[in-house]
Amino acid sequence: MAGFFNDQEREDRKAYKQTVIYFIAAISLVMLLFLVIIYMNTKDKQERARAEALRKQAEEQAREEELTEQRLEDEALGIGEHNITSEDLDFWEMYEKDKQKDEKKGNEEELKESEDDDYENIKDRDKNNDDVVKRDPTVSSNANEDSIMDNTVDDRKNETTGALKKEKEDDGKHIKATAKGSEATWYEILKDVEKHDYDLKTYLSMDEESLEYKSDNVYTKRGVDVSKYQGVIDWGKVKAAGIDFAMIRVGARGYGSGQITLDDNFVINIMGAKAAGLDTGVYFFTQAITEEEAVEEANFTVGALMNYGVTYPVAVDVEWISGDKARTDDLTPEERTGLVIKYCDTIKAFGYQPVIYADRDMLIAGLLPEKIKNYDVWLSDDLQPEDGTDYPYRFSMWQYTKKGKVDGIEGEVDLNLRFFNTKEK
């Protein structure tokens, strides 16, 4: 029996040892698996971190390449960085000169009224003297008769000149316009240039101090054109005031310096107008004297507006500089017309709708109507009480006053109508 218990004890110890070994092996295996899991998780985190770092690096590199590419495009378009601001350009001086001109004109009108009063007094005095002559035989009748004869000849001459002038005005074949530095001249109304068919006398009306045109075939939308001189604009109020669109100055070339600059308020104006729900277009004040400069101005315009987009035309603003010498003064109508067409064609090549802005005198005396007949015209001509405007040719936009008032804009602002065919609604 003793041997049996010894064998059993040995078996129990052996089994115990095996159990301990198995337990240790199991624990080791678990620990090994745990370590493997920790290692794998750590490796995954490292791989993810490495991948995230590579992704960020790739994004930064892509952004840098994009900025470099944009900078190269901007330089190619002529809108590279410069230190010039709009205050450095002589372009803005024209507004002060126009203001001084208006003040001078007002003073001259007051002086003329005073002279007219004096003239009436002199007429009354001369009439009394004539009565004295008739009554007083001591006064020489021959002198009086000579004076009467001279006045009669002058009156007949004035009547003849006035009749000829009236005849030309009423023939419907001529229109008078004035070029810078020249006297008013009669220009033939060209038969082969399309005329506008707006019946302004019948369908033009004032609605709440705003002009509109509405007929069976044509309707209009109201707009403003603005620059930095309108200051900060509340575009929400402008929209609420019934304004449908805004033409925003994108920039200008100095009329003496020839330098191009962006209008100080272009970005804030176009973003504000678009946010308020207005249709937007832009215009550039040209002073180009070569085709290369005309293309440069068009490229500058497109480069500035391409990040914002427009729903209305892109205009080239063609004006004479009053009261000062300008680099474009010596251009002939043929040369000026060619440069305007070059700008418009470049704008059109970028996919935008070009339009020519000018006043009636420039459109008649400064440009060739037969050469621009295939381009839209934005006419600037103050509203005339009789018939609106006497400009005969086709136009799609009309700036009818420079002294408008609109809620949301301090001071005066240009007001416009854009004409649409009712079939385009």
pLDDT tens-digit readout, 56-69:
676 666 666 655 55
List, in sequence order, every beta strand (DSSP E) within 276-373: 279-285, 314-317, 354-359
Distance CA(108)–CA(294), nearest Å, equals 39
Helices 333-349 and 291-305 meet at what angle, rounded to 10?
Answer: 40
**Contact status, residue 248 vs residue 73, Cβ threshold 8 Å:** no
Distance CA(359)–CA(357), nearest Å, equals 7
> Phi and psi dihedrals of 345, rounded to 5?
-65, -35
pLDDT score for 80: 42
How many Cβ atoms are within 10 Å of 68's Cβ, its own excluded?
A: 10
pLDDT score for 69: 57
pLDDT score for 140: 37
pLDDT score for 28: 82
Lowest pLDDT segment from 7-16, 144-153, 199-208: 144-153
How many Cβ atoms are within 10 Å of 84's Cβ, its own excluded?
A: 13
Instruction: Delimit the domains of the chain by residue range.
Output: 1-77, 103-188, 200-424
The type of residue at 149 is M
pLDDT score for 50: 73
Share of the chain above pLDDT 70, in %: 68
213: DSSP letter: E
Given a cut of 80, whether residue 91 has pLDDT beyond it is: no
Query: Mean of the pLDDT values across residues 81-110?
Result: 50
The type of residue at 308 is Y
147 band by pLDDT with thresholds 50, 70 and 90: very low
Distance CA(354)–CA(391), nearest Å, equals 20
pTM for the whole thing? 0.65
β-bridge partners, 414: 225
pLDDT score for 174: 93
* Topology (CATH level 3) of domain 200-424: TIM Barrel (3.20.20)
Distance CA(207)–CA(421), nearest Å, equals 20
Share of the chain above pLDDT 90, in %: 55
pLDDT score for 118: 42
Given a cut of 90, whether residue 40 has pLDDT beyond it is: no
Query: Mean of the pLDDT values across residues 151-171?
Result: 52
37 band by pLDDT with thresholds 50, 70 and 90: confident
The type of residue at 264 is D
Which helix (H) or strand (E) element contains residue 89?
Answer: none
Query: Mean of the pLDDT values across residues 295-324?
Result: 96
pLDDT score for 19: 80
83 band by pLDDT with thresholds 50, 70 and 90: very low
Please name which of 348, 379, 339 lies closest in space to residue 362, comparing C-alpha atoms: 379
Given a cut of 80, whether residue 350 has pLDDT beyond it is: yes
pLDDT score for 267: 97
The token pair at 352 is 């935008």
